Each structure stands twice: as C-alpha cells, then as structure tokens.
Amino acid sequence: MQSQNCKKAPAWTECEVLDLITETETLCNYLQTDYHYEYTECDSSGSRWRVAVPNPSAECSGLPDPMKGKECTFSCASGEYLEMKNQMCNKCAAGTYSLGSGIKFDEWDDLPAGFSNVATFMDTAVESAENKAESCDNSSWTPHGNYIESNRDDCTVSLIYAVHLKKSGSVFFEYQYIDNNIFFEFFIQNDQCKEMDSTADKWVKLTDNGEWDSHFVALKPGTNILYWRTTGILMGSKVVKPVLVKNITIEGVAYTSECFPCKPGTFSDKPGSSNCQMCPRNTYSEKGAKECTNCSEETHYADEGSSQCTERPPCTNKDFFQIHTLCDKEGKTQIMYKWIEPKICREDLPEALKLPPSGEKKDCPPCNPGFYNNGSSSCSPCPQGMISDGTKECKACPAGTEPALGLEYKWWNVLPVNMKTSCFNVDNSKCDGMNGWEVAGDHIQSGAGGSDNDYLILNLHIPGFKPPTSVTGATGSELGRISFIFETICSADCVMYFMVDVNRKNTNVVESWGRTKEKQSYTHIISKNASFTFTWAFQRTNRGQDSRQFIRDVAKIYSITVTNVLDGVASSCRACALGSEQSGSSCVPCPAGHYIEKETNQCKECPANTYLSIHQVYGKESCIPCGPGSKSNKDHSTCFSDCTFSYLRDNQSLNYDFTNLSGVGSLMNGPSFTSKGTKFFHFFNISLCGNEGKKMAICADNITDVTVKDMVAESEDSSSLVGTFVCQSTIIPSDSKGFRTALALQSNSLADTFLGTWFSSAETTLGNISVETEMFPSSQRTIPDVNFFFKSSTLTTPCENGRATVVVVRCNPTKPGQGDISVPSTCPVGTCDGCTFYFMWESAEACPLCTEHDYHEIEGACKKGFQETLYVWNEPKQCMKGIALPEKRVSTCETMDFWLKVGAAVGAFTAVLLIALTCYFWKKNQKLEYKYSKLVMTANSKECELPAADSCAIMEGEDNEEEIVYSNKQSLLGKLKSLATKVSINIIIFVDTVSLI
C-alpha cells in the first residue's frame, strides 16, 4: 500500500475518513506490510496498552488508535498463540506448535536468535591484551543439529540468552556433562546484575557416561540473563570431553504471538499441538510439515527423525555380525550371522555380499562356577551353603568349612541376570534399544551398535560386599576385589572404559585403555561396603561417520571375578571356625581381629601389632606384621603410627613425639600453567598418624575455601570426597578464569595404607616399590630424619604397583608449631614419575625428646661464701619436650685465705716428711754396703765354705763403719740418685749371694 493512500483529504467528510481508515486498516492487516501490534510496558497497576507500530520499511501515519490490552499476567494455553488484532487466543495450525507461555529451543543447526557467544581468557601467560583476546577467538559453543556443544579448550566461553518475564517462570534444559576436567556452571543475572540467590546452585552435577540429565531453575519476574558457562582445565595431554546441551525451555513469558514450525524430521498433524512428533523410520519431513513422506524402501532409507531419504548401498562384510545362539534342549549352540539392524544395505546389487550360512552345532559351554544345569537351557545358582564347579551337581561343604562366596563368569552362553547391556549415542537415536555386547562362548564381546561412534555399554550390579562368615566383625581396608581379563583389537582410535558407581550416584572412570591391547588382567580393590555398579564402555571412534568403517574393531572380556559378594555363589569351600559343641557344628563368626587356628579350627586373636588379612583367615600367617614404628588397632584391621618413635644411635636413645603434628598438614604447591597459561596449584593434605589410623586428610572437588582443613563429608558415599592419609587436588585460584571463589578438581588419594617408619638411608624398598629416601639432602643436619612410608591400593596403568608416598619429617628448631611442608627441588610437583611422591615436613616438633645429654652445667664464682651452678641447653638446641632443665644449684664455699693457709701447712709437712725419709734410706744404704763387703771378703778367704749364720752381723761394741767410709759432701739431689742406684745394686748382689748359698 502506498503511503499517500493513508493521507487525509481536507475536503472529505468525517464518515468518509472513517471508512477510509477502516478500509486501510483492513488492507494493511491483510498484507502485514506496514505495521504490527505490540504491548506497552506494564504500569504500576498492572495494565498495558496495545499499540500499532510501523514496520521499519513502511511510512504510515494513519495507524489504529491504541487500545487497552490484556492484563500483564495473561497467557495462552499450550498449543495456542495470542492473535494481537483481536487479542484472542487461537490454536496453532497443523505443522506448528506452541508452549503457550513458554519458549523452546530444540533445533541447533544454527545459533537461534537471541543467543550469543562470549569467549574470554582471563588468566594467561600471554603478555599482551591483544594476544589474550586472540587466544580464544575460535572458542565457542557449537551447534550440532539436536544439541549444542561447548568448547574443548581452556578458554572460558559463555552461552548467553536474555528473557523478560512478566511473571515468575522457570528455565529447563537437558545436558550431558561427564568430564570433570571442564567446569560447567549455569547462573542467572537479573535487572540489578546480581547472580541467583544460591551461588552453590550454579554448579551443574556430573552425569553418567553417555546419559542425559536435566537441570531446572526458577526465574523471577523481570529481565533474566541466562548464562551457560564452561571452562576447560587442560592438565598435560588429557583431552576434555565437551558439555552438551539440548531442549532449552523457558516458561513464564507473558504471551506467544506466533507458533513455532516443526523442525525437519518432525511433524504436527492436528491444530493446537504443544509439541511435534518424530517421523518414523524410512520416512522424512521438511520444516513445518503436517505429515511425513515415505521413502522408496527398496532403494532408499531414512533413520527415525530424518529430513531426507538416503540411497541404500550394496551389502558388505561390515553390515553383518555373528552371534552364539542359546542352548537348545539338546545342549547345543551354534554361530549365526545377522544383519546389523536397521538393515540399510541392498543384497540385490551385483557387488553385494550375501549373509553367510550358520555354523555347525556344538556343545554348549558349562555353567559358571557356583551354578548348575537345571535340566533346561539355562543355569541356576546353587542353594545357600552349597558349591559347584559348574559341571557337576551342587553339594554341601564338609563340616568345619564354609562356601567361599563370590561371582566368577568365564562361560558366556547367556548374559547373567545381574548384568545388562545397552547402546548409546549422543545424536544417533538408532542406537537406542540395541544390545551393546554379545555373548560368544568363552568370552563376551562388543556388539555392532548403530554406528562406529556409539558407546557399547556393559553393566554389572553388585548389591554389596562382606568378608567371610568367619570374620564378620573385620573392618579391613579391602572388603573385596573385582578382576577381569580382556583384550581390544582396533584399527582406529578405539577406547575401552572401566567405570565404578557407588550407591547409584556419579559414575567415575577408574581406568581406560586406548587402541589395541593384548590379553591382560586388571584388578580393582573394594574398600567400602556399599552397592556397586561396574561398567565397561567401548567406543570404536569418537569421530562421526556416515558409513560403517570399523565394525570389526572389537573389545573382548574373557572372565570377570568378584570376591566376597553379598548373596554370591561358591565353587569351593574354605576352613572356618567351629562352634563350641561338636566338630560337626556349623561355622561361627570369629570376632574382629581373630584368625582360625589350623589345629583346632577355633578362633584365636592375632598377636599384637599385626593386622588380619581379609582374604586369608586360616592360620597364624594370616596375621600380617605391621611395619616398623607402627601398631595395630584393637580390631587388627589396620596399622597406624601412634606419633611416637624411638631410635638407638651411638648408645644413645632418641625418642620422638609427633603428637603436635598429628593434625592435617597442608601444602599449596605452584603455581603451574597449562599450555594456554591457565594458572593452577597442586594442593596436598597430609595426615601422619591421627586417631588409631583414622584417615583425616580430606580432599574434595568443587570446594569453595581451600583454607578449611577440617572439611566434613556430607555423606561417606560422596564420590567427590577423598578421605585418606595423603590426598591431592588441583586448585584453580579465585582470580583465575573469572571465578569468584577457588575451585578444586581431580581429587585423588596418594596414600591409604600406612607401612611404617624408618630413619633415612640411601634407598629402601617400600613393599615392591623402590623409593629414594635422600631426596632432601642437608649438609648441616645432625639429627637424623624420620621417614613415614605410605602406599595407595589403587592400581593404574602408569603405576602397576600402586602409588607410594614418603613424608620426611625433619627436626628444625627454627620452625615452631606445625612448621613447613615442601617438595623436592628436583620434583617441583612432588613426584618425578607420577607414582612416588615425596614431602618434607620441617618443624621443631619433629626434634627428639630432650635428655640429660642435651644440657651441661656452668659453675659460677664464689661470692660471700656461696657458689651457683647453672644448667643450659647445648647449642644449637635440637630437642623438644622430654626432661626439663634442672633448677640452679647453690652451695656454700670458703674464702681464698683459708685455703692458702691450709695449702702452706700441707706443703711444709710434706717437705719435712720427704727429708726424714731421705735420711733414713741413706743411712740404711750405708749399712747394707758394709755387710756386703764383709760377705765378699769372707767368701774369698774360704772357698766353698759357707760363712756362719752370724758372720755378717756387726759384733757387739763394733762401730758402724759405713758412716765413716761413705761420709762425703754430696748434695741432697746427688745423694738421692746414688741411694737409688745403690739400692738396686744391693738387691742384685743379695740375690746372687742367695743363689750361691
């Protein structure tokens, strides 16, 4: 319509003008080219007006007058829309749908109108701001038809949508979030740019592998800005699996002025529809279809929900697979070949392959251990208390024994009743309802699936675990174990996952294997008595394929064995404890920490400082000694350190008391950076001993305050919490990536078993793990370090023997209290190989207890008749607690003049005594010389004639000639020398004389 037709002619009458306006309005409404209707904002009374608004390309001055509109809270029902001209709700036409007061986004070929992507990189090692922006230019949420996929890198990308609500509403969406290496948060900002009331609600929970979950959040009236934000944390070469979102539905909009056309592959065949139906298989539809169109099934096919038909290709060996049939009444089975369903290939083409014929019938495999053949084509479990190897009838255990309960699957004719199999694909519905794994006699193998990137899933449910009947009260760290033998044969980038779900909560990937793997065994330890679901998932490739290329890639599991299963079956018996009546009595449970004595089959407590092996309770050898410096708890279920230790060095006993270090010590190590510069820290919690081995170190994912050391688990079943002796988390600081609080992920246990305490040596063997104990050299160390050794029972592919942890506790008097914890300079992340971790804990509390060898005394001067003796510590002081310094000692003392007098008197007396002795021995010597000369002369005059007995004596009245002959003027010193010489000579002469006599 031309603009001049809307102009008012001055000569026209009022009626003519009104007629022209009415005609023009009718024509404009019909053509819908010049204007459209909108509602004004609601006023304070909740009212609004309907006004006509010119379209951008139209020039029209004769618009309809405003009129009162519907109340602000008005909305149409599902399947209806508000026709603005007459403000009435009308039904949607066939081929369209409406939610009434909601908006739904289920088509993601392109980013729908109103959505926007914002990529940021708020913490990076790149220096310039320009480079920071460029580093995330290619990061965004990407549409993929039925869903939208998040970024896979370590940029922060937000998917944003703004909606204005006239009344309270809600937002609902479905999502898949399986990788904790990426943060996924959903939050809302209102008109005042404030986030939702509870910031904890913004963290979206992880989903099981290959399963969709839903998220629902209430919305307030007014403008709400919705944010779906993801941030990848790339550590090493680990690939982040993206977040998937689909079917975003927003309820609470005031009205819907139009209906939405059905997306391709769906249809709506009647007016007033609130949703569209999916086209069946071998049919298709275009956008806004009222019905689906059939394909020519002989030459073309279409999957469910297709938008077009596809030509059928010729059949090849990738279009069929083999299965083993169930046992028939004759106990026979055979290999048969089946087309992969749905069959899309053609057999009538010249180059097409035919389905191979079935194989020969063979004997069915025997029943699994613990089961027996019930006379039909299936196997039944043995009754309680009975056993079977699978080939014979069940029989009771002998007296004094009990069944060794568990599950062992090594023959695969039918799928066990506690196992199920399925197929899942994110955007491939033809996988739904298909079997993921097929039994194959001596193994079970991955099935065909619907496409090469399907997840082929096998689940095993275990209701719980318990130790043998004879040790019901035991509380050991290992309640059971699951072991399986497998292999993968792949030509592409296949992956097999082994996952564990505790109490039907989040499923966590325990281990994964990529590409071809030779036949091997894997074991996982169970330490918690709970309901478990074990899952094996096999994917041939993660790339979408239009045709089957890797159908021959396969994963095989030969056997699965689970021990100590609640309500399990048995193939063998083991000795058990007898009751107090007769030898044929039933088994009785032994108390915790008791083993079964071989001679009497009676319960007997394990010796002190040993712990009981759950899997071996027969004989004293089942009590395993604790390591050096460790003790066992009352139940003999675990070993621990009581925070005391003694060591004999150089005949001196060093005693340690680490009680003040028994709390949890923490270490934040870093920062480190990812390939794009994301800053992160390694956070460790260490518990040396605790209360009888209680594992006090706790690490958790998505914590908001890493300074809280005593985090309490809401539930022991929470898979995001790790309670152990040493644990590790990766911390993203609050100033990184725009996060307002610190976040944690990848929490895991480094040490759940205490092995013992040793002093430092160059190298030692920790179980079967060799560890270097001199990772922290110190040339100034005089007190030896104390090493606490731990290990982790979790086995990984890089660490076949498990992880080991060494905590070196060093005496450092300069660091009081808790001291400091550090890692080796050669291994800045605490480990050099990812399997053995080293920590240094320096503290004054690590010094030995003080003894009398650690102090010395100092005597003071004598003052006023008193003397003080003080006691001081040796420097440097390297001891703590122990004995205290003795009090100073005060004793009486004499003056110096008194002692000088005493000394002079003693000296004078000694001098007189020496002079007297000298004179005496000198005179005695003269007499001996005279007697000797007389004896010599007598001997010469009368040979061979002995003198009379008294011939040598001095006659009465005879003078002593010695004094006359030997009187001389020698000095006193000379006389003493001569006296000594003469005495010697006299003794010799006297001896000779006696010999002659």
Highest mean pLDDT (candidates 377-391, 677-691, 695-709, 974-988) = 377-391
Q: Is the pLDDT of residue 333 over 50?
A: yes
Query: In this structure, are 862 and 791 located in the same domain?
Result: no
Give me the pLDDT at residue 760, please. Answer: 62
Q: Is the Cβ–Cβ distance between 268 and 95 less than 8 Å?
A: yes
Residue 598: band (very low, low, confident or very high) from pLDDT cuts 50, 70, 90: confident
Q: What is the pLDDT of residues 624-634, one digit of tens each?
A: 888 888 888 88
Q: What is the pLDDT of residues 879-893, one digit of tens each?
A: 888 899 898 888 887
Of 92, 84, 103, 100, nearest in space to 38 by CA: 84
Give me the pLDDT at residue 977, please. Answer: 54
Of 557, 572, 587, which closes a domain? 572
CA dist 661 and 819 (Å) reads 9
CA dist 896 and 306 (Å) reads 119
Range with the lowest mean pLDDT among 148-157, 351-360, 410-419, 647-656?
647-656
Residue 710: band (very low, low, confident or very high) from pLDDT cuts 50, 70, 90: very low
Residue 595: band (very low, low, confident or very high) from pLDDT cuts 50, 70, 90: confident
Question: Between these two residues, 77 and 739, which has the higher pLDDT value?
Answer: 77
Q: What is the 3-state secondary structure (H, E, C) of 437-476?
A: EEECECCEEECCCCCCCCEEEEEEEECCECCCHHHCCCCC
- For residues 714-738, give the mean pLDDT: 66
Of 222, 253, 284, which closes a domain? 253
- Tokens at 911, concatenated: 């001098």
Q: Is residue 980 part of a domain?
A: no
Q: Is residue 671 part of a domain?
A: yes
User: Phi/psi zone of residue 692: left (φ > 0), alpha (ψ -120 to 50 degrees), beta?
Assistant: left
Residue 821: band (very low, low, confident or very high) from pLDDT cuts 50, 70, 90: very high
Say if residue 876 is preceded by a cis peptide, omega within 30 of 0.
Answer: yes
Give me the pLDDT at residue 797, please. Answer: 62
Of 669, 627, 636, nearest in space to 804 by CA: 627
CA dist 878 and 625 (Å) reads 33
Q: Is residue 925 part of a domain?
A: no
Q: Is residue 763 part of a domain?
A: yes
Query: In this structure, are 398 and 465 located in the same domain?
Result: yes
Give me the pLDDT at residue 159, please. Answer: 93
Measured CA distances, 347 to 312, 352, 550 (Å): 10, 5, 21
Q: Is the Cβ–Cβ distance between 372 and 388 less than 8 Å?
A: yes
- Please give the angle made by the CA atoms of 801, 804 and 809, to the nearest 5 degrees: 160
- For residues 817-821, give the mean pLDDT: 89
CA dist 752 and 20 (Å) reads 89
Query: In this structure, are 636 and 662 located in the same domain?
Result: no
Half-sphere exposure of 817 (CA within 13 A, CB side): 4
Give me the pLDDT at residue 253, please. Answer: 79
Query: In this structure, are 406 and 461 located in the same domain?
Result: yes
Q: Is the pLDDT of residue 781 over 70?
A: no
Where residue 654 sits, what CATH number does that domain have?
2.70.130.10
Q: What is the mean pLDDT of the chain?
A: 77
Question: Between these two residues, 585 and 639, which has the higher pLDDT value?
Answer: 639
Highest mean pLDDT (candidates 121-130, 689-698, 737-746) = 689-698
Query: In this structure, are 596 and 555 located in the same domain?
Result: no
Give the contacts of 963 (CB within 8 A, at least 6 positions apart). 923, 926
Query: In this structure, are 497 and 390 located in the same domain?
Result: yes
What 3-state DSSP class applies to 816? coil
Give me the pLDDT at residue 496, please. Answer: 92
Q: Which residues pair with residue 549 across a beta bridge?
A: none
Q: Is the pLDDT of residue 646 over 70?
A: yes
Highest mean pLDDT (candidates 110-119, 254-263, 448-457, 981-990) = 110-119
Give me the pLDDT at residue 713, please. Answer: 37
Q: What is the pLDDT of residues 480-513, one digit of tens each?
A: 889 999 999 999 889 999 988 887 666 677 888 9
Q: With the C-alpha atoms ordered 208, 212, 216, 222, is the resulting torsion angle positive or negative?
A: positive
Of 540, 666, 506, nearest in space to 180 by CA: 506
Q: Is residue 709 part of a domain?
A: no
Q: What is the pLDDT of residues 920-968, one digit of tens each?
A: 887 777 777 777 777 767 665 544 454 444 444 444 444 444 444 444 4
Give me the pLDDT at residue 897, please. Answer: 55
Where residue 563 sits, what CATH number does that domain have?
2.60.120.200
Q: Is residue 805 part of a domain?
A: yes
Query: In this structure, are 802 and 870 located in the same domain?
Result: no
Residue 765: band (very low, low, confident or very high) from pLDDT cuts 50, 70, 90: low
Residue 288: band (very low, low, confident or very high) from pLDDT cuts 50, 70, 90: very high
Query: In this structure, are 420 and 525 located in the same domain?
Result: yes
Domain that holds residue 188: 102-120+138-253
Give me the pLDDT at residue 968, please. Answer: 46
Give me the pLDDT at residue 175, please. Answer: 92
Q: What is the pLDDT of residues 162-171, one digit of tens each?
A: 988 877 888 9
pLDDT > 70 in the chain, percent: 75
Give me the pLDDT at residue 785, please. Answer: 84
H or E segment at 207? none
Of 788, 813, 847, which closes a domain? 847
CA dist 283 and 269 (Å) reads 15
Where residue 582 sits, what CATH number does that domain have?
2.10.50
Give me the pLDDT at residue 99, please. Answer: 86
Q: Is residue 494 part of a domain?
A: yes
Question: Between these two residues, 498 and 255, which has the higher pLDDT value?
Answer: 498
Q: Is the Cβ–Cβ distance between 259 and 92 less than 8 Å?
A: yes
* Count of domains observed in the chain: 5
Query: In this structure, are 185 and 112 located in the same domain?
Result: yes
Highest mean pLDDT (candidates 546-550, 761-765, 844-848) = 844-848
Q: Is the pLDDT of residue 735 over 70?
A: no
Query: In this structure, are 511 and 465 located in the same domain?
Result: yes
Q: Which amino acid is at 4?
A: Q
Q: Is residue 527 part of a domain?
A: yes
Measured CA distances, 987 to 56, 929, 948, 963, 984 (Å): 149, 11, 21, 20, 5
Which of 36-49 are b and which e, b meaning 16 or more Cβ less than 10 Å from the residue's Cβ? bbebeebeeeeebe
Residue 621: band (very low, low, confident or very high) from pLDDT cuts 50, 70, 90: confident
CA dist 767 and 757 (Å) reads 13
- For residues 274-278, give the mean pLDDT: 89
Query: In this structure, are 636 and 752 located in the same domain?
Result: no
Measured CA distances, 723 to 139, 150, 427, 626 (Å): 37, 32, 38, 21
Give the contacts of 614 (CB within 8 A, at least 6 positions apart). 467, 468, 471, 474, 476, 478, 479, 564
Range with the lowest mean pLDDT among 74-78, 242-246, 527-531, 949-953?
949-953
Query: In this structure, are 554 and 503 located in the same domain?
Result: yes
Helix, strand, coil distribution of the chain in percent, nearest 5? 15, 35, 50
